[in-house]
Structure 1
Amino acid sequence: MSDTIVAPESSAEARVSHNPAAWTAEMVRPTVDAGVGAQASFLRKEFDLANVGGNERLLISAQGLYRAFINGKRVGEDVLTPGWTCYDVRLSYQTYDIADLLRPGRNVIDIWLADGWYRSRMMWPSSNIINCWGDKIGAIAEIRGDGLDPILATDGSWKSGLLPILKSGIYFGEIYDARQEDLPAIGGGEVLPFDKSILVAHETTGVMELEPLPVVSSFTDEEGRTVYDFGQNSAGYVAFTVAGEPGAQIVVDHAEILDKHGQFDRASLRTAEARIEYVLKGGDVESYRPYFTFQGFRYARITIEGRAEIKSIASVPVSSAAHPTAAFTSGHPLVNRLVENTLWSQRANFVEVPTDCPQRDERLGWTGDAQVFAPTACYLNDSETFLRKWLRDVMADQREDGAIAHVTPDPTRMHPQAAPGFFGSTGWGDVICVIPHVLYEHYGDASVFEETLPAMVKWVDFVWSISDGPIVKPPRGWGKRGFTFGDWLQPSGPSVKPLPTIGDDAAATIYLYISSVLTARAAEIVGDDAVAQRMGERAEAVKKAFMREFVTGSGRLAYDDQTSYALAFMHDLIPAEHVEAAKGYFKAAIARCDGRIGTGFIGTPALLPALVKIGETELAGQVFLQEELPGWLYQVKKGATTIWERWDAVMPDGSTHPEGMNSYNHYAYGAVCQWLFEAVAGFRPDPEMPGFKRIIFEPTVIAALSPVAAHHDSRVGRIEAGWALDGNKVAYDVSVPEGAEGLLVLAPDYRDIVVDGSSVLTAADGGKTTARLSPGRHEISFRVQGN
């Protein structure tokens, strides 16, 4: 059976080309449904076919989650359908080829329904939102052939019944009683009021099951429960086979880690039950995996009540990022594992929307996390349609005054009393300006700006309005208009002598500048000269104001911290006459941290690129490769298999961080992988010829990483780059795909440059040396001074 989910590249296509002119079907509710948290239900219809034409397809969506079966066989292979959007504004539908499931004569279709994101509990207990987008689940479906009229459509004549799923929820998990399989249809169908114009063809790939992870070890705890270790933290669920007596029960609990004593530790899940209960029907070996939930876990603890035996068990990851498009390896095993950890964190958190974490009572589409991680995401997986789909939800959640929600889809837009003012943070809301540019540079499609430019302008105007001017002074209180998270989770150093951190005003002002520049560029690309000029003038005003307000006469930045210097250098916000002095202050800020990271969510992606930009390559390598807390490699040495939310999620003594907010699967700090591809391996798209039509090759040689090899499968083909260091001589090999061109850029201290056997004259002015590269493979060599 072929799954033909369509993934158009723009909302116009989604709404016009792939959205049927008229749906005959209605949104239908099972009358047996008893509400949120109750036993799941199904809709059923029997129908007759004179023959099967071969082109039959099912168009289907739901309020809640659905899974469809025709003549007892599953439709499609994707899970958690119809996915997660701002359901009141946009509801995805899927299209499947189903001819091979149909037969002449009598047929039956079943549509299983469950709460899903639509009405499961959302957010943490203080918010405790249920029935977020509605309190009635339902399905809308049509079977179409070659004719104009549908073969079958949901309406009030459909029957309904109860499923063996006694309860399910995104945070809760699932209870399944196999003794209640094949229950009869005892109810009917109720047509619900529903605006069919909000239906859009599914805009990206579906959530798919990945290769199962086998058990790598197990042990029995003091209470006789078996704990299975699958060796990898991931998002998904367990699949098991079991044999036993009727009524015996298998209870599965999940955890990301074991504590310092080697015991099962569920603390990072907070109030998310993340629990699976399976009741055996008895007799033959039974197989089960959850239908309408997922968990974030590495370990599963099995409690058996009654007589039963687990015959086999595996962890089944699920993800919208199922096919990697890049790889990076080096001569440093911890770095290689760091890249692998980042890939797994992307998989676990790219489940319909880019979430912060997959395990606890949150799992929300935090805009700040996605903003900093998007470039890395686009290297590691083809993320274009995934992020464009999500940006449409970001725009749907944007408030009238231009504020962007902290999370999207945003439950608080529907329930503002649950978390008042849950929008408008700089660094987070700037996602509406940053990600469109990331997509444009990686994939070369300017239509993303046509969609997002109005929202970008509204956001920049909102940030300016916080303080009515170029210096943004966010209020400190949560929920206040313009509150900012700042450099979230920045290490603070010893409590007796805390390290400085960037102030909210400096961080917000820098991001106002960044977004003003990006909005001006977007407007220029789509030909909106008026907006380009206004945003360009605003950017210049912010830049001048920043220099006056936050750069002292000696070149020291006001807050004198790593994030301030990193962002200011990356965006050229330091006056030319102060650049050399500011470099010294930047290095001193790192020295005060004992050569370690002093940045949080917004500063970390800029830290190493900024050091390379100012010529401090050796220092960048030292900061990156140091293995103590806080540090990227510290996590790996502590056994991490995904990226942590906190630098110190596990303390040096093996104890866990005492705060309640402690995730072991957060991709934000994995944004460093962008630097590994673009600086260390040394390839990136040229913004002037986006979509990798021109590839800039500019390697940064860090001796401890030799040899380096990387590739990326771009729209124009596979890009490859790698280098090895022998003494002070570097052999750098690259591959430019057909249809693209390359530009080699080498730092001033790289000498004796040879490209494909021919010497290249170094830049006479002491600047960077450049050389054009045609499609194909190229062998480059040069010498590194000081090595």
Structure 2
Amino acid sequence: MSDTTWTAAFITPAEELHSAPVLRKEIRLDREHGALVAARLRVTAVGIVEPWLAGQPVSEDLLVPGWTSYEWRLRSVEYDVTDRLQQLPGDEPVVFGLHIGAGWALGRLTWSGAASFYGSARAGSADLELRYADGTIEVVQTDETWTAAPTGTTADDLYDGQDIDARVGTAWARPGTVDGEVGTRSVPLDAGLVEPSRAPAVRRLSEIEPVAAWTAPSGATLVDFGINIVGWVRVRVTGTEGDRLRLRHAEVLEHEELGVRPLRSAEATDEYVLSGGEDVFEPRFTFHGFRFVEVTGWDRTLEELRGALTAVQIGSDLRRTGHFRSSNDLLNTFHDNVVRGMQGNFVSVPSDCPQRDERLGWTGDIAAFAPTASFLFDTDAFLSDWLRDVWLEQQHQDGVVPFVVPDVLKFLPPLDGIGPQNTTAIWSDAAVWVPWALHRAYGDTAVLAEQFDSMAAHLRRVASLLSPEGLWDTVFQFADWLDPDAPPEDPAAAKADTGVVATACAHRSAVLVADAAELLGRSAEATEFREMATRLRTAFRTHYVSRGQITSDCTTVYALAIVFDLLVDDDVDRAGNRLAELVAESGYRISTGFAGTPFITDALTMTGHVDDAYRLLLQTECPSWLYPVTMGATTVWERWDSMLPDGTINPGEMTSFNHYALGAVADWMHRTVAGLAPLTPGYEQVLIAPLPGGGLTWAEASLESPHGRIAVRWDLDTDELCIRAEVPEDVTAIVRTPDGTERQVGGGEHLIRTPIPTPVL
């Protein structure tokens, strides 16, 4: 079988088994051909597949094959199982099994209550290639000679949880007849949809022990794991056969009880039936966003309960590349929260939240967060893979980048108050902003080449939506979503004019696509989009700018106009001064939503108001980045006030305690507070330019760049600013001190001393 052709059948149980089935086949090694020298297994599924061989799971990978736009693309995953099979004694049979969960393909998705958007039957497909010493190749594939057996997983859903009956056991993993075994049937599916996975696998990332267990006022038994994570709880218990243990998960407490209202309809509950012996329960066909667990059915001491539970954190297995620390402990905790929130929301796709009945690949969130994500972790393969689905969705929707990718919303009635999906600023701009962020982070034009048609299609779609005045003010916009001044029940009711926001974003995208076209040698498209950018810039200034004042006169519109280079001459200074005034008038509390938040500190910095940027960053009163930290947050919240100062949950219907988008300011922290930024894509040339402020006495950042480790640390001594820089051998760095002095350095370690800038606020 070639590496690009899929020929194995997709099979499913011929009868309903009322559990997550296992598809199984007994196999024997053919010793007549000599020793087994190589064995390769490839699997995929409609649903989630956990492959087993010789009584054990093949891999630590989870939620295989992940979520893609299943209508057009289904990943397959390959494993080397040579060692596993070479260890088998003699010619005894072993079971080749595929345990199949519902996953994204068949489980509930969205708040609608609907399920099975991508199929009607769980189906697995596998190909086991065995190579023997004499050169013989034997291939074992799924077909209708396989059987199906029930398992102890009696219910499984990503939103609702997994039920496991330990009395059923795993006899199906051993040779022989299994109770309830039935035949299988083929499921028609285009084998051309199957392609080898390029995305990193979802795996267990860490294990966390409980920090407390207690009895709530209601009498419920509660357990605290200390941090908000994504995954599940492993339970080790011995009890009476048939007893039930129930775990419900949530991110917060409210009124001293489990705070489940933010989950909406998601049950987030796992239930276990004990076998009577020692049981280890670990759900692998679901995941939860949680810090707290309510346990029902536990009849021993709280201390014994703590010893029985271990939280398992999962996520796509991304290599950590970037780090930040400073002299401000609250700021360090906030940065830790950004990292943890990203890990919890990078589970196969970049999702908005990991806990409620949603968990969708909202494009606006990653558009804002991609630069931060690509500093903290190596996201190249993960986001490049997701971008392929962005383009697939566009090709089937007249160029529209949908609100979520994979786009399950297209199967539902239009959203209330929004109407049918259409191209919308920031959300649809993800088609441009995300590949550009990857290019800047890793220096490779391949992602631009692969996504260029997607980028161009988005801009041409925007061009078709512009008004006769050349403004993007003709369709629904999320715009400055979750402006803190918007009412809880209407997060789109922001201060910023939606046309101003959208036109500014269109200009930025046009500039970036023109730049990408030039890098790729596509001169016609470079001219097309450069001219589009010029028209948008002119229209913006003509209709929205008057002597430095911008329509709707709020922080977001000034931030976007400054950072996206929409102003000229004195208007830049006027806009910067007005932005600083508005920030001061707000008491240095946040006044921006999704559109303005990633850019406001940059806008202040670019116009000479670094001290205002620091005061905004370090504010602890609500709304602010650090307010959640003072409230005990261990991830970034969806709303600035997801939890109110009195400890109650925000009354809005949409409230999550793990959303990474508002953590996008970490990008400014890396580049400006610590002072580590790329001068050229991929950090072949680096700018080291820390701007101390905010009372910080030191800050540092490091990055495992494509060229090696880059590190910066600055300290304020008695009368000097000391900058220490570590630069890889093939990289050049420009070191810029706060007074504007620049010097070029090469590879090695460097110490630069300069008089302390005054004032350092």
Question: Shorter-chain TM-score category?
Answer: over 0.9
Displacement after TM superposition at 1:305 (Å): 6.9
1:357 counterpart = 2:353 = yes
Amino acid at match of 2:408: P
SS at match of 2:366: helix
Alpha-carbon RMSD across the aligned residues, in angstroms, is 2.1
**Other-structure match for 1:734:** 725
Scaled by the length of structure 1, the TM-score of the pair is 0.90
Q: Is the 8 A contact 2:13 2:21 kept in 1?
A: yes
> Kindly tell me: are residues 19 and 628 of structure 1, through their superposed partners in 2, closer, same or farther at Cα, counting changes over 3 Å?
farther
Give runs of aligned pairs for residues 552-591 of structure 1, distance below 5 A.
552=546, 554-591=547-584
2:750 equivalent to 1:778: yes
Aligned to 1:765: none
Offset from partner CA, 1:218-257 (integer Å, 9 cap, x none): 1112454321100010100000101110100000001101
* SS of residue paired to 1:247: coil
Contact 1:425 1:484 in 2 (8 A): yes
1:544–1:350 Cα change, 3 Å: same
Q: Structure 1 residues 718 and 389, CA, compared in 2 at 3 Å: closer, same or farther?
A: same
Partner of 1:40: 20
Q: 1:201 aligns with which of 196, 205, 213?
A: 196
The CA deviation string for residues 667-696 of structure 1, in whole angstroms up to 9 with x for no partner, is: 01111110111111111112xx32111111
Deviates more, 1:409-418 or 1:345-354: 409-418
Alpha-carbon spacing, 1:155–1:252, altered in 2? closer, same or farther (3 Å): same
CA deviation string 1:423-473 (max 9, x = no partner): 422110000000111111111110111111111111111112223456434
**How big is each residue's C-alpha offset from its partner over 1:574-599, in whole Å with a ceiling of 9 and x where there is no partner?**
12132222222212221221222111
Once the 2 structures are TM-superposed, how far is the Cα of residue 172 of structure 1 from its aligned partner? Answer: 1.0
Match of 1:134 in 2: 119
* Deviations, residues 457-511 of structure 1 (Å, cap 9, x unaligned): 1111111222345643445xxxxxx32100110111899xx99721110011001
In structure 2, the partner of 1:84 is: 67
User: Counterparts of 1:774 and 1:298 in 2: how far apart (Å)?
Assistant: 46
Q: CA deviation at 1:703?
A: 4.7
Report if aligned partners of 2:221, 2:295 keep a CA contact under 8 Å in 1.
yes
Q: Report 1:123-522 matches (<5 A).
A: 123-125=110-112, 128-146=113-131, 150-181=138-169, 182=171, 184=178, 186-259=181-254, 261-283=255-277, 285-304=278-297, 310=305, 312-398=308-394, 399-415=396-412, 421-469=420-468, 471-474=470-473, 482-492=475-485, 501-522=495-516
Specify every segment of 5 or more residues in structure 2 that has no aligned partner in the other structure, as ranges: 173-177
- Structure 1 partner of 2:665: 672
Q: What one-letter code is carried by the residue in structure 2 that aligns with 1:271? A: S
The Cα of 1:785 is off from its aligned counterpart by 2.8
Aligned amino acid, residue 313 of structure 1: L
> 1:54, 1:99 within 8 Å by CA — same for their partners in 2?
yes
**Aligned counterparts of 1:97 and 1:494: Cα–Cα separation in 2:** 54
Change (3 A) 1:494 1:312: closer
SS of structure 2 residue aligned to 1:118: helix
- Aligned partners of 1:32, 1:693: CA distance in 2, in Å? 59
CA distance in 1, matches of 2:218, 2:332: 38
Deviation at 1:709, TM superposition (A): 1.6
Structure-2-length-normalised TM-score: 0.93
Question: Alpha carbons of 1:571 and 1:24: their partners in 2 closer, same or farther (altered >3 Å)?
Answer: closer
Which residue identity is paired with 2:166? A
Deviates more, 1:213-222 or 1:601-610: 213-222
Change (3 A) 1:638 1:417: closer
**Alignment CA distance shift 1:707-1:246 (3 Å):** same
Q: Deviations over 1:341-388 (max 9, x none)?
A: 000000100000000000000000000000111111011111110000
Report if aligned partners of 2:231, 2:287 keep a CA contact under 8 Å in 1.
Answer: yes
Cα–Cα, structure 1 residues 222 and 19, in superposed 2: closer, same or farther, change >3 Å? farther
- Equivalent position of 1:685 in the other structure: 678
The one-letter code sitting in structure 2 at the alignment partner of 1:775 is G
CA distance in 1, matches of 2:407, 2:58: 30
The Cα shift of 1:533 comes to 0.3
| Deviation of 1:619 (Å) | 0.9
- Structure 1 segments, 4+ long, off by >4 Å, are 147-150, 305-311, 414-420
Counterpart CA distance in 1 for 2:283 and 2:584 is: 51
Q: How many residues align?
A: 733
Structure 2 residue identity aligned to 1:254: H
Structure 2 equivalent of residue 121 of structure 1: 108
Match of 1:31 in 2: 14
Letter in 2 for 1:233: N
Contact 1:255–1:300 (CA under 8 A) maintained in structure 2: yes
Identity of aligned residues (%): 35
Indicate if the aligned counterparts of 1:33 and 1:41 stay in contact, CA closer than 8 A.
Answer: no
SS in 1 for 2:37: coil
Q: In the aligned structure 2, how far is the partner of 1:730 from the partner of 1:22? A: 61
Q: Which runs of 5+ in 1 are unaligned?
A: 1-17, 476-481, 751-767
CA–CA separation in structure 2 for the residues paired with 1:579 and 1:418: 38
Structure 2 residue 520 is matched with structure 1 residue 526: yes
Instruction: Give me the whole-angstrom Cα distance separating, in 1, the residues matched to 2:192 and 2:662.
Output: 39
Report what 1:657 is aligned to.
Answer: 650
Q: 2:98 aligns to what?
A: 111
Amino acid across the alignment from 1:410? D
Amino acid at match of 2:284: Y
